[in-house]
Chains A and B, each alone.
Chain A
Amino acid sequence: MQPEYSFVTIYNGFVVTEKPIVPDTSESDSETSENDRIAERRQLLMLGAAGLPMMLTLKASAQEVLVSQLTCAIKLPKRLRILVDCDGRAWVGTKNIKYTNGKGFKVADIVKFKDDATYAFPAGDVPNYWLPDNCPIEECSNGGGGDDDDDGFDYETASAELDDLMRTSLPSQADGIVLASARMGDGDDDDDEDDCDEDWIDSGYAFYELSKNSTILPVDHTSGTGWSPQANTQGLFIALSLVYESRHGDAPGWPGISCIVSIISYFGTQN
């Protein structure tokens, strides 16, 4: 039995057909159901021929929610400076280090910067691109013995201190990123009398600076499915952020770490 009528309503642009109530007959239910379906389909096609779309798309999709994870930005509340040595160590702080053409960095500034650094990253944490151009650190050729390392920094002692700190229970000192109290430059207490100019050093360090209120868009340092830090100071910041995240997760302490974690989570959903 063919239905005498059927309702076709449009809800939010989508066609909803309502089956008419068909009284019981001697025809089989399956045959009636199939006839109903064919009738509905023909009616739908008539609407389609009149311009009704045959498909609709939900724009408020999961993809938009996921992509929003990529849109976060990091705004630095204060100036941030990063000192990098030839072994890929990094110190992050706010103090300035004076550089004078023909002389280089003031050693006292470097020592002070290391002492006051908010974060210190151990050797190997800084990717090669951001390492200093002049490596290794120049040695004094006419020195009279003692520690030829004229950067005022005893790496072995500092490393030992770092290890000690890493063994402490302070949550912010796990796995190599330590707070300023590491005093990385204090290990070298030699009073050697080499002939080097102990006040200035022109090799062995690179110094980077991000100004106050700098806005960093981490998504600019990605390549669709992974991280690809740009070859600039912001890229170094991102690289160090990733190191921090790998050791501390989203633990507070590093500027914009929640934004970094958000993007890492996004990548996790894509793989």
Chain B
Amino acid sequence: MAAVPPTTGKKWSSDSRQYLAIEYDDTFLVYFRPSGETHFLNFLSYGMVDAVSSMPLSEEEILARMRTDFSLTAEELPEALVATTLSELDQAGLISALGAGA
């Protein structure tokens, strides 16, 4: 398992009770109860939501977790893509930040 960098930033979390997810061939239809919206998530974005639903993780931890879970190299899964996806998930309400140092 890849080493997890030290956590310095805010942690992200998700409440799995707030959404329903169904997988269709590596694509996930996620119905988010609070907003009433339905989202199409691919393996990466859903993997991130799923990862932080079990325990809060920092961006660095999420990055490491995704690379490990999906057998991806740093080149295949750059930090910027994870950061952007986190922002999209945050805007949709699917994940939320617990605050710095949490």
Number of residues from A at the complex interface, CB < 8 A: 24
A55 touches B72 (CB 8 A): no
**Does A264 count as interface, using CB distance less than 8 angstroms?**
no
Q: How far is the CB of B39 from chain A (nearest CB, A)?
A: 5
Interface residues on chain B, size class: 20 to 34
B37 touches A55 (CB 8 A): no
B81 touches A56 (CB 8 A): no
Contact residue among A14, A55, A64 (Cβ-Cβ distance under 8 Å from B45): A55
Q: Looking at chain A's contact residues, is the secondary structure mostly helix, strand, loop, or mixed?
A: helix
**Does B38 count as interface, using CB distance less than 8 angstroms?**
yes
B26 touches A37 (CB 8 A): yes
**Does B3 count as interface, using CB distance less than 8 angstroms?**
no
B36 touches A66 (CB 8 A): yes
**A14, A42, A55: which has the most chain B beta carbons within 10 Å?**
A55
- Using Cβ atoms and an 8 Å threshold, which residues of chain A touch B71? 38
Closest residue of chain B to A40 (Cβ to Cβ) is B26
**Does B92 count as interface, using CB distance less than 8 angstroms?**
yes
**Does B2 count as interface, using CB distance less than 8 angstroms?**
no
**Does A123 count as interface, using CB distance less than 8 angstroms?**
no
**Does B54 count as interface, using CB distance less than 8 angstroms?**
no
A sample of 18 more A-B contacts (CB under 8 A), given A41-B26, A42-B76, A49-B81, is A14-B40, A42-B72, A44-B44, A45-B81, A48-B81, A49-B80, A54-B41, A55-B41, A55-B42, A55-B88, A55-B89, A57-B92, A58-B38, A59-B37, A61-B35, A61-B36, A63-B36, A66-B36
Question: Which 10 interchain pairs have the tightest Cβ spacing?
Answer: A63-B36, A54-B45, A56-B40, A55-B45, A54-B85, A58-B38, A61-B37, A55-B41, A57-B39, A48-B81
